[in-house]
Amino acid sequence: MSYPANRPDPRRPEDAAAGIDVTEDFERFSQRNDVFTRAMWDDRVKSRQTQAFFASYRMEATPRRGDGFSQRDFALRNASWLISDVMTNRHAADGRREGFQAPISNDTPVAPQQIDIDDPARMSTEIKRIARFFGADLCGITGMDERWLYTARVDVRDMTEAPLGLPEGMTSVIVLGHEMEADLVATYPSALAGAATGREYSHEAAVVMQLAAYVRNLGYEATASMNDTGLVIPYAIQAGLGEYARNQMVITPQFGPRLRFSKIFTNLPLAHDVARPLGVRAFCDICTRCADACPVKALPYGPPSTETANVSAIRGVRKWTSDAEKCFSFWAKLSSDCAICMRVCPFNRDYSKRRHRLWLKLALSPLRKLALRFARTHGARTKPADWWANG
């Protein structure tokens, strides 16, 4: 298999089961055009405010009046990112911001001798067990789909495109889900809530690197990946972990939208999971809670569409698509990430509780309108001061 070809065969027989609708206009996405990377080179996005946003994740945060934006809140958020930042910055001088604009380097070699695998299904079960051992909350496995690979990585020294660097012959993608702290998510928008994001990036960096090292020690290629190399959302859907929603997130039966995802590209012989549509699309068709709550109206109303004028959106996929520039402009204004859409999503629940499992069953049934009515007061914001007080 050779990477990349910018216009691979756009449609696959398994797309329908995954709820993926690719058109003849499909083009693979250049990571140089994601809105975070554009904020580093594109004057249509880049500004003093966006530069201050990035700087705030170092020691340059400016605490301000307002619950959730004190020095203590920024301190916790930035500390939560530490492990991810250490990993990400270790090869930045060589142009590789790993986990974000470049795949994560192999810290261990591939063992010279491969273990024999005569049962890929059993091997998949083992991989999922080891993923849980290292701390992943979810694990699914899908086939390698080059449509979702970026056309190139980004050399952060000059923000130019560089070869992706993914070894050829990869046959599977192991997708890992990492639950975000529900009590912190409830405080969005705030710098405090950003600690939920940072903690999982630091967690997933460790988990994905350790699991990839395990695979390499078995004698097979394994490239650990976070936001780099390819679009994780379609891989997560194809791996049966959840369904795509209006808020641009994957809704899972275990945690709703409250996850970060990482992935491993590998040639380890594995059985693949299948997509499991449960009815999220039908619920999102009648629910606009996320779009209603978005302060800058960056989320779409109406049905999924292929129409987008935004450079930071993939072409040729019929889906709900946000206005990434509006969204990121609000992040920059906050000097922190915003996930109001995650907080207010009716699927954002604690499914260890029976009443929420019953609500989920109702939401995924023909009685979804009743479930939406029951969720009308769901997702209220918790004051960040209350989070600190309740510790």
Position 75 scores a pLDDT of 95
Tokens encoding 317: 């996929």
What does the domain layout of the chain look like in residue ranges? 13-382
Position 251 scores a pLDDT of 98
Position 141 scores a pLDDT of 98
Position 1 scores a pLDDT of 44
Nearest CA to 114 out of 1, 223, 265, 215 is that of 215
pTM: 0.94
How high is the mean pLDDT in each 10-residue block of the chain (391 residues)?
55 88 94 96 95 89 88 96 96 96 96 97 98 98 97 96 95 98 97 97 98 98 98 97 97 97 98 94 98 97 88 94 96 95 98 97 97 96 96 72
Position 161 scores a pLDDT of 96
